[in-house]
Amino acid sequence: MANRIEQIMKFSDDLETLNKMFEQNENLFAYLGIKITKISKGYCELSLPYSEKITRAGNVLHGGIMMTAVDYAGGITTMTVNDGMDQVTQEVKVNFLAPMSEGPFRIEGKAIKAGRTAVIVEIKLFDSEGKLGIVALGTWYVIRDRIIKKS
């Protein structure tokens, strides 16, 4: 059976199936309503709908939610270039540039360097008007010998 990294590229031309796969296996992805809108080797684009349940005071998108979307975009981008069995987020440096309140939000991930043990990804988050809210740089550790799961 193909692992989830192999499935990403297998279904890259079928976004409906790919999104269903994520919704079934990633509870937070489903709860937030995130959708994969574009995917190719070294790149992914996600959409995050605006909802008051994910805002902070002032009805702007909560920073933790923004970081979660960034982590998903970086992780999914990594899956498109990862030739191992799994991966984990090693670190993400996030620059918050502006409060975000005009959804849906677009999150873009672009692989900068895909190495044997790590993948570096640049991630940007935009509002529906194209305003840049986040620029982030993350590292995902490539796992070659096992798939991470609850014991």
For residue 76, the domain's CATH number is 3.10.129.10
Per the structure, the count of domains in the chain is 1
Domain-embedded: residue 127:
yes
Has residue 148 been placed in a domain? no
| 150 located within any domain | no
- Closest by CA to 120, choosing from 93, 136, 139, 135, is 139
Domain holding 94, by residue range, is 4-143
The pLDDT, as a whole number, for residue 1 is 40
Per-residue pLDDT of the chain (151 residues; tens, 9 = 90+): 456 677 777 777 899 999 999 999 999 999 999 999 999 999 999 999 999 999 999 999 999 999 999 999 999 999 999 988 899 999 999 999 999 999 999 999 999 999 999 999 999 999 999 999 999 999 999 999 888 888 8
How many Cβ atoms sit within 10 Å of the Cβ of residue 87?
22
Asked whether residue 151 is assigned to any structural domain, the reply reads no
This prediction has a pTM of 0.93
Assess if residue 108 is contained within a domain. yes
**58 domain-assigned:** yes
- Rounded Cα distance between 118 and 25, Å, is 24
